[in-house]
Amino acid sequence: MTRVYSLAYLSSHRCTPPEAIRVAAANGYQFVGLRLWPNAPGAPQQFLLGKPDVLKETQAAMADTGVGIFDVEIIRIGEAFDPHTWDPLYNACAALKAKAILIAGDDTNEARLTQNYARLCEVMRPYGLTADLEFMPWTAVKDAKSALRVVQNAGSPANAGILVDALHFGRSTTTLDDIRAIPRELLHYAQICDAVAGTHFTVEEMIHTARCERLLPGDGSIDVQGLFDALPADLPVSVEVVNFEREKTAGPGEWAGICMAASRPFVEPRA
């Protein structure tokens, strides 16, 4: 069974959307992930919304290479939430034929968060997009059990999803049994990387690692092999390794190749 690979935004953060697509194509990826909405005001992103020339160039690169858009980032569900805030993002996803939008849950009122997640799924449904809720230990959705509880209490919408990131698996209380307990229909893709495992890190340390200093699979102490053995064998893999220091000595294309080579042994069938 051949794995499907996507080059995550954080692995190609130095690229524009069309550049990321061409880098992915040159290194054996079938998809890319894009960050078209920043994770905080003024934070890094790829600029495409409201730029028809960039959209057209991105679509041309997709047509030329056959590389598609898998996921687009990011929607954060906070206390004051209106799903229509992201209408421009949904429209861009439709134009790019994207499959999923990455969702973060920030509202500590879980009942309200759950209600807003259900609203979001309903708004996204006509666009053919899944709403993949990523558990992260510094957010209100801290582990896999929390993510599953939110999705199930939201009524398990048809386009609901749970995103498993190896980093957050290794730095939360999530167990392999918790991963196995996620219904198959909620899993659309998973993110691979490595780091020092543990639940003793401060919020600042966790965020720094996630955004600046992930390790290649095999270079840390997260049970990456166990995780991907517990996940479905046909699940698409988003290769998400950002490491500012390591990237100083490798261009975006070389880095994409390094990340792919390090990831394959953990997710390809073993003889």
Reported as a single tens digit per residue, the pLDDT across 244-255 is 999 999 999 999
The count of structural domains within the chain is 1
26: domain CATH number is 3.20.20.150
Residue % of the chain over a pLDDT of 90: 97
**Strand (E) or helix (H) holding 77:** strand 68-77
- pLDDT tens-digit readout, 191-212: 999 999 999 999 999 999 999 9
Is residue 115 helix, strand or coil? helix
The pLDDT confidence band at residue 233, using thresholds 50, 70 and 90, is very high
The pLDDT confidence band at residue 9, using thresholds 50, 70 and 90, is very high
The pLDDT confidence band at residue 270, using thresholds 50, 70 and 90, is confident
* pLDDT over 70 (residue 271): no
One-letter-per-residue 3-state SS of 66-120: CCEEEEEEEEEECCCCCHHHHHHHHHHHHHHCCCEEEEEECCCCHHHHHHHHHHH
3-state helix vs strand vs coil in the chain, percent to 5: 45, 15, 40
Return d(Cα 251, Cα 256) in angstroms, integer: 9
Residue 1's pLDDT is: 54
Mean pLDDT of 48-58: 97
In sequence order, what are the residues at sequence separation of 6 or more whose Cβ sits closer than 8 angstroms to the Cβ of residue 251? none
Residue 2's pLDDT is: 82
Q: What is the largest CA-CA distance in the chain?
A: 51
Q: Provide the token pair at 175.
A: 């167990």
Is residue 89 helix, strand or coil? helix
Q: Where are the beta strands (DSSP E) in 149-194?
A: 160-165, 190-192
Domain that holds residue 114: 5-267
Evaluate whether 225 touches 264 at the Cβ level (below 8 Å).
Answer: no
- pLDDT tens-digit readout, 111-139: 999 999 999 999 999 999 999 999 999 99
pTM higher than 0.75 for the full model? yes
* Cα angle for residues 102, 104, 105 (degrees, 5° grid): 145
The pLDDT confidence band at residue 266, using thresholds 50, 70 and 90, is very high
Q: Provide the token pair at 203.
A: 């919020």
Return d(Cα 110, Cα 93) in angstroms, integer: 28
